[in-house]
Amino acid sequence: MTQLKTTPLNTVHRALRARMVDFGGWEMPVNYGSQVDEHHAVRSDAGMFDVSHMCILDITGTSARAFLRIALANNVDKLKTPGRGLYSCMLNESGGVIDDLIVYYFADEMFRIVVNASTADKDISWLSRLNAQGSFGVTLMPRDDLAILAVQGQNAGEKVWRAIPTAQQLGASLNYFHAIHVKNTPFGTLMIARTGYTGENGFELIVESSHITVLWKTLLAHGVRPCGLGARDTLRLEAGMNLYGQDMDENVSPLDAGLAWTVDFSENRDFVGSAALRAKGQRAAFMGLLLHKNPQGNPAGILRAHQKILTAHGNGEITSGTFSPSLQQSIAFARVPTNVSVGDTVQVVIRDKLLPARMVTLPFVRYGKPLI
């Protein structure tokens, strides 16, 4: 039996009696008691997630920008200001998604990407091959010495600055999808990024692994609630944010996963997978799905991944589904024929029953407010 990897906070999670699960080969907390309470803590106040299982990769060298220009479907030429971040997919030659990631620009010869834990080895191997094939000569450096905490919620900023007052002057005015490095904090040098995976205000804090336990305990003392993978999943689904391996993978085009906005065809840029995307185009629509309630006003069932959707234009499939704590309704992401429209009523097969649902625009919730 393969031993699970652990983050530097593993003993902290256990001390808090978290329920631990195997998540892509990592032992991670799914909740610390009530997943629903953790979800609401983020929507109404502030919660924190250990995301140190994700892989940080520094890409350096004089050809770093040219390398990422062909490696990513989004265009790193948009990154002109140090600290600016960009969400992108990394594609194979067939236009399928190898991974989705965030890339940060810090200098012409220094970029940082954060990739998913379950795909890290595959991603590094793929990038190494592209580097060698194109003779870019860049250095790919996994930063195993660093760890990540995500602090998310309406009051995340207030509590982060109280916990790290030395960072407030630089970080309080940080724009969305921007990052800074703050030196000489009680936790060493911090990279503070105004990003997240919940649809709320918040930050992702990258710190040396040796300091992350003290940072966690300091945030805890300032009222930031520990949250696990369960709440992270319901939050990201309400916020309309894709999960790699469910909503897209190597056999799914970003155009069919609601991610066309992350693909930059400008200037006829030839990134890996661009020819396939141009040739195939969009073959499916990707949108939200809201299950109708029963006549008593209660949830009629729970939408789950891989359930079949029957429409007037052909069949589709749920890619991610859950019960939304914010809406008190069952919600999902749906990949359906392109002729299906927002507002259409469709049928979902749940336990051999056909239940009605309505196609809606994503996201379902943003900044604590229902949007449907």
**CATH of residue 315:** 2.40.30.110
Q: Per residue in 277-299, pLDDT tens?
A: 999 999 999 999 999 988 887 87
Helix (H), strand (E) at residue 158: helix 156-163
The phi and psi torsions of 297 (rounded to 5 degrees) equal 85, 15
- Indicate if 54 and 197 belong to the same structural domain: yes
Of 279, 310, 344, which residue sits at a domain end?
279
For residues 8 and 209, the answer to whether their CB atoms sit within 8 Å is yes
Q: Please tell me the predicted confidence (pLDDT) of residue 298.
A: 81
Measured CA to CA, the distance from residue 231 to residue 18 in angstroms comes to: 13
- Indicate if 47 and 137 belong to the same structural domain: yes
Question: Residue 306's beta-bridge partner residues?
Answer: none
Residue 22 structural domain: 1-279
Q: Please tell me the predicted confidence (pLDDT) of residue 1.
A: 63
- Indicate if 316 and 179 belong to the same structural domain: no
Domain count, the chain: 2
Q: CA angle at residue 243 from 310 to 129, to 5 degrees?
A: 120
Q: Please tell me the predicted confidence (pLDDT) of residue 273.
A: 98
- Indicate if 330 and 225 belong to the same structural domain: no
- Indicate if 235 and 321 belong to the same structural domain: no
Of 279, 295, 310, which residue sits at a domain end?
279
Tell me which residues of the chain have a pLDDT lower than 70.
1
DSSP assignment string, 303-372: --TT-EEEETTEEEEEEEEEEETTTTEEEEEEEE-TT--TT-EEEEEETTEEEEEEEEPSPSEETTEE--
Q: Per residue in 187-216, pLDDT tens?
A: 999 999 999 999 999 999 999 999 999 999
- Indicate if 161 and 267 belong to the same structural domain: yes
Tokens 């995307």 -> residue: 277
For residues 356 and 303, the answer to whether their CB atoms sit within 8 Å is no
Question: Residue 111's beta-bridge partner residues?
Answer: 59, 105
Q: Please tell me the predicted confidence (pLDDT) of residue 295.
A: 82
Of 237, 259, 279, which residue sits at a domain end?
279
CATH number, domain with residue 246 = 3.30.1360.120
- Indicate if 233 and 298 belong to the same structural domain: no
- Indicate if 202 and 301 belong to the same structural domain: no
- Indicate if 272 and 289 belong to the same structural domain: no
Q: Tally the C-alpha atoms within 13 A of residue 133's C-alpha that lie toward its C-beta.
A: 10
| 187 C-beta neighbours (distance < 10 Å), count | 22
Q: Please tell me the predicted confidence (pLDDT) of residue 235.
A: 98
Share of the chain above pLDDT 70, in %: 100
Tokens 């939408």 -> residue: 303
For residues 236 and 362, the answer to whether their CB atoms sit within 8 Å is no
- Indicate if 160 and 224 belong to the same structural domain: yes
Measured CA to CA, the distance from residue 329 to residue 320 in angstroms comes to: 14
